[in-house]
Chains A and B, each alone.
Chain A
Amino acid sequence: MTDDTAARAAREDGAVPRHNLLSGPQPDVARAAGYADAPPRMGFFTDTSVCIGCKACEVACKEWNAVPEDGLELTGMSYDNTQGLGADTWRHVAFIEQRKPFGGQEPGVGHEDVDVFSAASALGTGPGSPGPGATAPPPGAAPAGAPAGEISPVSPDGRTELRWLMASDVCKHCTHAACLDVCPTGSLFRTEYGTVVVQEDICNGCGYCVPACPYGVIDQRRDDGRVWKCTLCYDRLGVGMEPACAKSCPTESIQFGPLDELRDRAAARVARLRAAGVTDARLYGEDPQDGVGGDGAFFLLLDEPEVYGLPPDPVVTTRDLPAMWRHAAAAAVSLAALAAAGFVRRPR
């Protein structure tokens, strides 16, 4: 990727901005935060197209990080009983029930006319046939069963069909993290891996980071007043282990690794899905040019971000901070002027 080569070149030249910018691209976030010799930036790529909604990530996160239980509720929101990210939910699996057909992610992928046994017996016999063990066609080639514009099959009882989208949400570990910028105590800090972590012994419970987060991730724990969120298993990273959620994910929907590598992997996966006819597939949060400077945890989604409860175009709140201070200074001067005017003796 061109951004990464530029970043690497800049790192060698020493031209990477060393000070922490409020917004815009920042290729080497750990170095900008003061780590002279930082390891590569680590992150998550969550491929929701293979998520099976098993919630192993939720459980593994709670187990490893000793996160307290947050109540068991039957919400009526499909199989989602955790509802959203918060102080005691650092991984959250969303379940979206949609009246869209099964099969592929587009209409017209019924397989009623396919005899799977005869198809299987032909495996590996022709040049166009995938070899044993192949699960997806090579990128660029749409398979024969791909959408052909037919009307999707409807069940005999007249029900429209339903599809489930499942997605494991997590803290985005933004390049420009609003929570970190607004924290008045320095409790939130940037790690050498480029992630954002709360130091729980310093957090004083002011709660400022909570409304500052454009993703609604970090939240205050009610009984102790301090804020908590995903640490990207900072303690595991330090000894070369992967985060608990990624470790426990049975389908590798949650992938952990150096962010550069994950971005390449994600781009290849989107290309492959699109070639297979899943035109809704898209990456979310991977672009270093976006409002938060790119996320350390990004996603492959099969629908619009807001369907999953994600903001479509988040912007780091501190982007406008210089303008805010200017306006506040102008207002302060106005107030002083008003008060002075109050004391000016009126002409008789």
Chain B
Amino acid sequence: MTGSDVPRDGVEGARPGRDALTGAHTGRRRRRGRGERAMVPDAEFSSYYGKPILNKPTWKALDIAGYLYLGGLAGASSLLGAGAHVTGRPALARTAKIGAAGAISLSLVALVHDLGRPARFVNMLRVFKPTSPMSVGSWLLVGYAPLTLAAAATDVAGRYRLVGAAATASAAVLGPAVATYTAVLICDTAVPSWHEGYREMPFVFAGSGATAAAGLALACVPAGQTGPARRLAVLGAALELGSFQLMKRRTGLAAEPLEQGRPHALLRAAEALTVGGTALGAYAGGRNRVAAAVAGAALLAGSAALRFGIFHAGVASAEDPRYTVVPQRERLAARRSPGA
């Protein structure tokens, strides 16, 4: 609000500076340039001074988006490590095992950093609640992290091979769950852009975890052993991009924050990096060491950009009351329409 409420000639004829937006003229549009097509018709709704209805997530982006990314990287790396262990690709196995152990350790650091102090993590283990994905995830991590550390340590030390094999196998069993439970973690909230995508989000995260793990392997492993990683990159990218498109198409208005501003830039970058990294890795990754390293870095960066894009889109959807009110009004109208 600029200037005084009360002009020199008194308040007569002056309208208040800010009204609660109760009319039908408050549907905001933030259309981007370049002739982008609106996904849904203009929404009309009322709001309380445009204030958000939901409280937005208080999570720090670097900690929690990083946590989602590292979980995917670790889970899929455990699978690669186990496969390489079984099929006799020692360099791939070692990289994947160390990658899994490192990533999951870093993700725990990120979680503890978000909580504020290490002792607070202990409270996570007071109870086990299937209704709380974070409780399930905490127990999953408590089981999974030591297994990855054991698998990596025995591989590096070259001793206790039986223990190492058992740890590798067990980590590979828990790995996929670690990579996909994080999707349930963010979808089990009232945040529109996360909650509405709950059917496809686990598949997006699974695919993205696979490309990240493949990227790490491509970047660090001699070309002769990266065959499975290159194939996993292709399959993971297909799963990630396919289910992401499906999610955007199905969720309607709630997908709009994915198409705007910073999330849009991040998600476009994620697409470009994943497609480019996969293509480069598949085409030249088997022969050219430099190309493989570039492809691997692109895949790692693409997976991270996807998690950060989805994270920021969710925060944006919680900050705008439109994404809360409009779908709920439509739901109410459908229920009240004749026949209901």
Residues of A that sit less than 8 Å from B by CB: 20, 22, 75-78, 80, 83-86, 94-99, 157-159, 178, 181-187, 202-208, 210-220, 225, 303-304, 306-314, 317-318, 320-321, 323-325, 327-336, 338-343
Contact = CB atoms under 8 A, between A and B. Distances in A.
Given A207-B58, A331-B183, A341-B231, A98 B20 contact: yes
Contact of A182 (B12, B132, B203): B132
Contact of B123 (A97, A187, A306, A310): A187
Interface string B316-333: 001001001100110110
Contacts of B75: 335
B126 A185 contact: yes
B91 to A, nearest CB: 15
B56 interface: yes
Contacts of B189: 182, 208, 211-212, 317
A97 B324 CA distance: 22
B12 A157 contact: yes
B99 to A, nearest CB: 14
A84 to B, nearest CB: 6
A273 to B, nearest CB: 19
29 contacts: A83-B51, A157-B12, A182-B189, A185-B124, A203-B123, A206-B120, A208-B189, A211-B54, A211-B55, A212-B190, A213-B54, A213-B190, A220-B58, A303-B22, A306-B329, A309-B49, A309-B51, A321-B184, A328-B181, A328-B202, A332-B179, A332-B206, A335-B207, A336-B79, A336-B172, A338-B239, A339-B83, A341-B231, A342-B227
Contact of A306 (B47, B87, B179, B236): B47
B190 A327 contact: no
A206 B120 CA distance: 9
Contacts of A330: 202-203
Contacts of A338: 206-207, 210, 232, 235-236, 239
Interface stretch (B133-141, B272-280, B302-310): B133-141
A331 B206 contact: yes
Contacts of B17: 76
B222 to A, nearest CB: 17
Given A76-B18, A338-B210, A342-B83, A321 B325 contact: no
Contact of B184 (A210, A328, A336): A328
Contact of A335 (B55, B83, B180, B201): B180
B331 A313 contact: yes
B19 interface: yes
Given A204-B121, A207-B58, A323 B198 contact: yes
Given A186-B126, A338-B232, A205 B54 contact: no
- Interface SS, B side: helix
Contacts of A182: 131-134, 188-189
Given A318-B131, A340-B83, 8 more contacts: A84-B51, A208-B132, A210-B56, A317-B188, A320-B188, A324-B133, A328-B183, A338-B236
Interface of B: 1, 12-13, 16-20, 22, 45-49, 51-59, 75-76, 79-80, 83, 86-87, 114-116, 120-121, 123-124, 126-127, 129-135, 138, 172, 176-177, 179-181, 183-184, 187-191, 194-195, 198-203, 205-207, 209-210, 214, 227-229, 231-232, 235-236, 239, 314, 318, 321, 324-325, 328-329, 331-332
A310 B202 CA distance: 30
A312 B45 CA distance: 11
Contacts of B57: 207, 210-211
Contacts of A204: 115, 120-121, 123-124
Contacts of B183: 324, 327-328, 331
A332 B180 contact: yes
Contact of A185 (B46, B127, B131): B127
A20 B176 CA distance: 29
Nearest to A220: B58
B55 A327 contact: no
B19 A97 contact: yes
A211 B321 CA distance: 14
Contact of A178 (B115, B124, B133, B190): B190
A334 B180 CA distance: 10
- A184, A214, A340 interface centre (most CB from chain B within 10 Å): A184
Contacts of A339: 76, 79-80, 83, 210, 228, 232
B58 A327 contact: no
Nearest to A180: B131
Given A184-B135, A211-B57, A96 B22 contact: yes
